[in-house]
Amino acid sequence: NLFNLKRAYCGQVIIDRRKNLTNHVMANLSSFLVIWLSVFSMSTNVVMCVVELDFRVTPAVITPLETANVTIQCLVTERTNYYNPQNSYYYNQYGQHVRATNPPPSANHKTFLAMIRILKNHQSTWEPIAQINYMSPTTVEQLDASITTSSGTITSNLVLRSYIQVNWQVATSDVFGTYRCDALSFDTSQNGILTTSSQLILGNTLNALDFLLLLKHDKREILDRIDVQEKAERSNYNQTNQLKADLVTLEESTQDKQIELEEKVKKQGELLQVMSVQMEKRTNDVQREITDRIEEIDLRVSSVLESGFLMLWPRGTYGLLQPKSACPFSGMTSWKSGWRRHHTESTDRNQDAVPIDNHLHQHVLERLRGKNFMTQHFCIKTDIHSVGPVWSKGSYCINKKGQCPSHFNAGYIRWDEEDDSSSLTHEGELPDGIYDDKNSTSTIIEYCCRKDGSADVPMFLPSSNPFYLYRYNGNCQQVYGMNVTEEFLLFDTENINNHDRISDVHPDARINNVRLELCYYQSS
């Protein structure tokens, strides 16, 4: 009650009012003692008024094409601060004692609210979708045809409720985007004050399937409109034919009213001509609108494909070499990682090598306790039921995990590891092969390769993260939206009686010191 009495004095100086409030304080002495000592301990206080915006959406969780009655509301209120210039302290409307870091030079005047509007960001431009102003304080102007209903009110006193809200019947693609709320107000000196809310983002958690459902819904709406137009055209065509038939019947049955009929025929012919022109114009407009809309959808789909947003890793199980940036990320694909540490030549001079600027997951080259090692790190896809396309035609290899995908052929490479005190280790998920750390001095890793297309014809794979493929038949496979760099791994295998081996199908490689040719991809 004490602070509500002061709201009428926004922007004015409050002179000592102890005497006028004596009855209030005496009647509620215990409740007001702290406020009395803090707020009225000085003889002069300045009341500051600040416009605040509460911008929110309901419900909080929105499911595309399922959530009904999606509502965005912007509530405008006024916060009152009491500023004491003698000690540079604020007292807010709750009586809380706040230190002022930058005290204002003068008191604000009482705020007059002129307009509230909700805006949506469209291609980096903020465009209003609904607004209300003080000249029509209860009428909301809808500027977006997708809005189902809207409401709002502007009050002359911001202590009362001022708001604007818009509602969509269901969460279609028109609902999702970035919004903000603006409130335009003036003080008594006619100084304009534009208050802007924080941005409200709807749809930042949509996944690829949500996006496809929205596109499918938009396409279905277009087809429905085409169907309605075709029915209207058929109706006009039937009416025209019926009208022509009536004219013929009339001409044949009434010989004695030849002149009158001719006049009628002339008028009907003019009417038919006008209707024909109008129908042709309408048909052209609808066809142009449909064409523009389909081109827009095609452009959006192409843009999504180019960005890699909708691209999913092919279904099935397989493996790839792991880059230093970690396994490729995809919302629909989960990867498991593992590594194989090869024990390379440690008796004679060692020739292990990788490019200086390689992008492989580290460490690759190691020397531990006088022994030389090279480590291959892998990303393994093990979910056979995951959603995704089939592998594209081309010329490339991947690691085998389970059965090779369709149109791939299986093969392997055998590493003859260092014979002297062999120290082989592995960990995690690995491609198909033989990894016997205790009873063998060799490693076999299996691959899946295909050559049913040109390596120069780009194929589609997710472009959001770097990844590796194995080179096959001399050239790296081109991938849409990615730059490719050739790299290699050179393993100095056993020098004496070497048993390196490769099968008929294998990535580009040589043995007796295994050199494996790689293709590294990163977004262009």
pLDDT of residue 123 exceeding 50: yes
Q: How confident is the model at residue 81 (pLDDT cuts 50, 70, 90)?
A: low
Q: Which of 210-219, 346-355, 481-490 has the highest mean pLDDT?
A: 481-490
353-380 pLDDT, tens per residue?
999 999 999 999 999 888 999 999 999 9
What whole-number percentage of the chain has pLDDT above 70?
Answer: 80
Please say whether the beta carbons of 225 and 287 come within 8 A.
Answer: no
189 or 49, higher pLDDT: 189
Q: Which residues contact 24 (CB under 8 A, 6 or more apart)?
A: 1, 2, 32
Could you give the angle at which helices 208-253 and 258-307 cross, rounded to 10 degrees? 170
pLDDT of residue 36 exceeding 80: no
pLDDT computed for residue 335 by the predictor: 92
403-460 pLDDT, tens per residue?
999 999 999 999 999 887 778 999 999 999 999 988 888 999 999 999 999 999 999 9
pLDDT computed for residue 331 by the predictor: 67
The count of other CB atoms within 10 Å of the CB of residue 167 is: 16
The tokens describing 473, both together, are 């038949």
pLDDT computed for residue 84 by the predictor: 57
Q: What is the DSSP letter of 333?
A: B
Q: What is the CATH number of domain 4-202?
A: 2.60.40.10
Element spanning 281, H or E: helix 258-307
Average pLDDT of 240-266?
79
Q: Which of 96-110, 175-189, 225-239, 391-405 has the highest mean pLDDT?
A: 391-405
Strands 112-122 and 125-133: antiparallel
Element spanning 305, H or E: helix 258-307
pLDDT of residue 472 exceeding 90: yes
Average pLDDT of 187-205?
88
365 or 225, higher pLDDT: 365
Q: How confident is the model at residue 39 (pLDDT cuts 50, 70, 90)?
A: very low
312-333 pLDDT, tens per residue?
899 999 999 999 999 987 767 7
What is the residue-averaged pLDDT of the chain? 82
The count of other CB atoms within 10 Å of the CB of residue 447 is: 29
279 or 471, higher pLDDT: 471
Q: Which of 26-30, 222-226, 289-293 has the highest mean pLDDT?
A: 289-293
Among 459, 454, 464, which Cα is nearest to 480's?
459
Q: Which of 68-82, 229-243, 442-456 has the highest mean pLDDT?
A: 442-456
Burial of 469 (0-12, 13-18, 19+ CB in 10 A): buried
